[in-house]
Structure 1
């Protein structure tokens, strides 16, 4: 009897931060993992090695989530990996994680900034998911990365927070339209996490870290594995009846 095929997940922006931890947590749950990176090829290859150490297959592909022009080529690359490395299997989960943070007040937000936020956080995931639908198994799970900033407000994050609110809405519409294929779609909304996001302010500026901690019911800021474990859960069959939900993982910030 042939060995049962492991589930396969694609995580965008998997070379660092929350994407990296999500990829590792998924590998620990038995997923084989394809990650994307924009420029940090060496970092992505290190994540691949770490996943292989866990005992799962891993591959890294370049992707600029802000440029839909490259999506056809990227989709062909994913299909090639699935055909050659996984005997024409399909993806069982997609994690739309890739993104950047930017801090600019409404007064100082340029059209270029708003376009970048739109392309990276909304247009990119919208059309990448569209392109990958033929490569997703029925019954798959899609997890879109939102943000706590879609619920609570910090000065300077109007463009970012608004795009993440759009991601929450998009997730519900995707869940509705893909339900006939039994594909579940949820969004995960991290609070402040100790990563290099936004220049690493939460991680590196003690006063900022303490200020957020003081407004959080659990008394601290988040760590990457506070999010990665949630993403892995939502990609797994353990969450098979969770659909069209926005799950905020922020430790109870400003409740």
Structure 2
């Protein structure tokens, strides 16, 4: 049995039932559901889910607002499930801290597959790995791979899963230039197919967290025409 805590938020009971049935067949037993945004936020704070499946169209508020409020109390991966499939909607979802975006109609097995992929990226792979110390110190900020914590000037900062994964990848490869497509493939695990805006949104949000002046970054630097690299001020010099 998989003890992962899963929160499903959707106003259609049939969708909740369908996803729950498929998840249980895949071994996920610790599932809670909500049919309103208010209840979803409440359960996020009390249930402490490890992954959230969130509809955008809810009766009392948009899922984007639910995501924003959940991000204040949780770093669990958030997968949007919605019929709204425009690029603007997707960028908004990623911009407020979402980690994946699945459009309706959908195959419930795809939902489970994406859930598992997101969980693999945020959970230690084995006991040996969990016993290793993996803290990346860049002076102004530190990133703890095992606890999933970003600390800036001594203060812990909420960092959504995708942003954390991108920053972790860059921390592991300091002073190396990566194109937008390379970053997308490393973080999302699939070809970017020209989806550069998603990477740009996550870069901007990371700069807002780690830089003294996000408009004049000294850590996460743009290399014009090539991509991005993460440096310490000493390395840049």
TM over 0.5, shorter chain: no
| Alignment TM-score, normalising by the size of structure 2 | 0.41
| Alignment TM-score, normalising by the size of structure 1 | 0.38
- Which has the larger share of helix? 1
Q: Which has the higher contact order (CA 8 A, sep 6+)?
A: 1
